[in-house]
A and B are shown apart, each in its own frame.
Chain A
Amino acid sequence: MPEPIVEIKNLSVYFYTYAGVVKAIEDVSFDIYRGETLALVGETGCGKSVTSRAITKLIESPGKIVNGQVIYHRDDGSTVDLLKLSDEGIREIRGNEIAYIFQDPHSSLDPLYTVGYQIGEAMEVHGKVRNIKEGIAKAVNILREVLIPDPENRVKNYPHELSGGMKQRVVIGIGVANNPRLLIADEPTTALDVTVQAQILELLNELKRKYNATVLLITHNLGVVAETAQRVVVMYAGKVVEIGTVDQIFHNPLHPYTTALLRAVPNPLGKIEKLESIPGTVPNLITPPKGCRFHPRCPFAEERCRKEVPKLKEIEPGHFVACHRY
């Protein structure tokens, strides 16, 4: 029985904008198991980033976490609801036990500080080093670990002196600086060119093994999912529609949206077939469709789908789906 490190329960995040209340995610629940790589996939705007940020309360005004729990299992076995922690308490977790790697390395580094300083700062704030000077010295090792050549000199570089791939390595370095238990990587390769993408993913996998960390990987790329993840959470329009192992999702997709998603991209585990686009568009989340949010685009939609919100049901061990067909 895999033990969870984070249990997300009934998480809802709303954005109170002038146009109306954007229900970015609603009633999102899934577990992240210790030591796994969990992939979070879905079309753009379906709430992947919001979900990942809400885990450590990184949601900013006008956004608000309106409901839910994020149960975090500490190393010593105790649990805590991260959403109930004080600002001070959650700051001790962020970057220390749960670290983030963001999508765009070009803007995730402060242009005014050397990369060594920024890695040092991440360690200093959690008391891993006494001061930033000491942190900069340690940053050399971290840069070496993320395979940056000539780390002794690179620590003194400013972000604009590095290439995109190198910057992302630095960002990953900041992420692993405190040896976090959970690493949340939000599309870590999207902003990089294809040749670099593979290297970065390779590096992430390697570091994960080395530090024995858990990874929540957010990506658009199903190929990446097949290669690196063990389990997959599929989201659509702010809801979780399907959860399963990579094998279950790719070979036995249950939810019509997952099926469509797999047909819309080259299936990494199947033979190459004709790609199909998913008809219709992502609904606006201010007034999402009633019942199943996928019903306007679903070929199997029936009366019930328009009225009743489908619940997540376990169809086979570890394979959950939210659809009235099952």
Chain B
Amino acid sequence: MAEETGEYETREEYEMSILDRISDRLIDGFASFIGLFKKDWRRRNQSRIKEWKLMAYAVNRSPPTLLGLIIVIVYIFIGIFGPYLAPWPYDFFPVNYNYSTQLAPPGSTYFLNVTQLQNGYIIHYTTYIHYMLGSDTYGRDILSILLSGARTALVLDIFIILIGPTLGIILGLISGYYGGAVDETIMRITDMFLAFPGLILAIALSAVLPGRIQNFLNAHVWAQTFVLKLFALHPRDVNNLGKLLAVFVALVIVWWPGYARVTRGSTLTEKENLYVEAARAIGLPTRTILFRHILPNIIGPILVMITMDFGGIILTEAGLSFLGLGAVPPIPDWGNLINQGSQQFPQAWWLVAFPGLVIVTVVLGWNLLGDGLRDILDPRTRRSLEFKLKKKSKGGEASA
């Protein structure tokens, strides 16, 4: 028996690509890592680990998903470390030291005679700055701003997704499950929000909110510190936060109704399934039925939607920045660069082209990943993959 399984496994391995082996290694490594802290975890979660491996195989077999995943990983990595990787800080303005650095074309190099106040001394030094991707109107290095701006995008992305869809999903579940007056009330409120095109509502809100948010921030130092740390900004920029956060709040408000609608719709169909009635018949509380049984069954399309919305938020936020709402210079922001660039187009094309390219790439990455997830999250797809792998290995055995 033991021999048989051994042979089985070698066959299976034979069918596996290098990618599969890499993903296996990564997952095994991760499992051992957890095993270091929780004894016995590996053994008890064998089936879960196997499930993860199967998911990885599914990704490995779909090049677009893989591409999307890579883009997304790079985006998240740069979102976290970008501000520290940037060659120049976002609030260093070379135009103060050499006027010709304004709108420098890609590939050019300029000398700067820097005069700075340091520890009470005025120091002079000469340095040079190489603009791989050109500079903006303040002579700032576009590459640096793109790197630092990834943090802005990522933080907005994550927090908007954490709040908006969560709110929408909870309301949608309640609405769909209870029906009747509860449903009517929640859905009419949702309709009110949906009646305005999202962008218009966001524009209105980001125009009204900054003052209030700024007042709040000025009154609460802890909030200031938190937000500054989050966006990796210099305390000097505290007065620019109001507009940035206004966009954040506006997008959260715009982002939940869609989820409420979709979740309600799926809940309505899902609750017709006998297993929901069976769950009630065994005495499960509504909370458990909603979150343990209905939600996981309808989460597939929602996760896909969330994934795509990671891109959508970047796009909308860029759109708002382009309209002059949201992040203001010097806060590094992709959309804001394009806003600057639009006034200099087509002479300073790099101001539009590079941030545009970055936005398109990231949005595309999230969309590819979302598309791939659609298949992978379906346990039936994974099972059939497992079946195929096994069948192949069996076929190999037969021909051998």
- Which secondary structure dominates chain A's binding surface? loop
Q: Is B293 an interface residue (CB 8 A)?
A: yes
Across the interface, which residues of B come within 8 angstroms of A83, CB to CB?
Answer: none
Decide yes or no whether A58 CB sits under 8 A from chain B.
yes
Q: Which residues of B contact A174 (CB under 8 A)?
A: 278, 282
Are A110 and B293 within 8 A (Cβ)? yes
Surface stretch bound by A, among B200-208, B283-291, B330-338 = B283-291
Which residues of chain A are within 8 angstroms of B107 by Cβ–Cβ distance?
none
- Nearest A residue (CB) for B281: A100
**Which chain A residues lie closer than 8 Å to B120 at the CB level?**
none
On chain B, the number of residues with a Cβ less than 8 Å from chain A's Cβ atoms is 23
Asked if A125 and B288 sit within 8 Å, CB to CB, the answer is yes
A92 within 8 A of B: yes
Provided the pairs A91-B285, A92-B283, A95-B281 are in contact, do residues A104 and B274 lie with their beta carbons within 8 angstroms? yes
Q: Is the CB of A61 closer than 8 A to any CB of chain B?
A: yes
| Interfacial residues of chain A within 69-107, with CB under 8 A of chain B in the complex | 91-96, 99-100, 102-104, 107
Asked whether B282 lies within 8 Å of A121 as measured between CB atoms, the reply is yes
Complex contact B274–A126 (CB within 8 A): no
B296 interface residue per 8 A CB criterion: yes
Pick from B274, B281, B379: contact of A56, CB below 8 A.
B281
**B280 proximity list for chain A (CB < 8 A):** 58, 94
Q: Does A67 contact B (CB under 8 A)?
A: no
The interface on chain A, measured as residues whose beta carbon lies within 8 A of the other chain's beta carbons, has a size of 31
Whether A112 contacts B297 by the Cβ 8 Å rule is: yes
State which residues 265-295 of A face B: CB under 8 Å. none
Q: Are B293 and A61 in contact (CB under 8 A)?
A: no
Given contacts A112-B296, A112-B379, whether A107 and B275 have CB atoms under 8 Å apart is: yes
- Residues of chain B with a CB closer than 8 A to A126's CB: 283
CA of A93 to CA of B283, assembled, Å: 7
CA distance A156 to B284 in the complex (A): 22
Given contacts A110-B297, A112-B296, A126-B283, contact A160 B380 (CB under 8 A): yes
- Docked complex Cα distance between A110 and B293 (Å): 7
> CA separation between A94 and B281, bound complex, in Å?
6
**Closest CB in chain A relative to B150 CB, distance in Å:** 35
- When chains A and B are docked, how far (Å) is the Cα of A104 from the Cα of B284? 20
Question: A106: nearest residue on chain B (CB-CB)?
Answer: B274
Q: Does B235 contact A (CB under 8 A)?
A: no
User: Roughly how many angstroms separate A100 CA and B250 CA in the complex, as a whole number?
Assistant: 48
User: Is B273 part of the contact surface with A, judged by Cβ < 8 Å?
Assistant: yes
Cα A78 to Cα B160 in complex, Å, equals 55
Q: Is there contact, CB below 8 Å, between B283 and A91? A: yes
Question: Contact: B274 with A125, CB < 8 Å?
Answer: no
- Contact mask B148-162 → A, CB, 8 Å, 1/0? 000000000000000
Enumerate chain A residues within 8 angstroms of B278, measured Cβ to Cβ.
Answer: 100, 102, 108-109, 171, 174
B223 at the interface (CB under 8 A from A): no
B180 at the interface (CB under 8 A from A): yes
A125–B383 Cα distance when bound, in Å, is 30
B211 — which chain A residues lie within 8 A by C-beta?
Answer: none
Q: Are B47 and A94 in contact (CB under 8 A)?
A: no
Closest-by-CB residue of A relative to B177 is A60
Q: Does B277 contact A (CB under 8 A)?
A: yes
Q: Is A99 touching B274 in the complex (CB atoms < 8 A)?
A: no
Question: Would A121 and B284 be within 8 Å (CB), given that A61-B180, A104-B274 are in contact?
Answer: yes
- Provide a sorted-by-A list of 14 A–B residue pairs whose CB atoms are within 8 angstroms: A61-B180, A91-B283, A91-B285, A95-B283, A95-B284, A99-B282, A100-B282, A107-B274, A108-B275, A110-B279, A110-B297, A111-B297, A112-B379, A160-B380
The 3 closest A-B pairs by CB, nearest first: A95-B282, A94-B283, A95-B283
Chain B residues with a Cβ under 8 A of chain A: 47, 178-180, 273-275, 277-285, 288, 293, 296-297, 379-380, 383
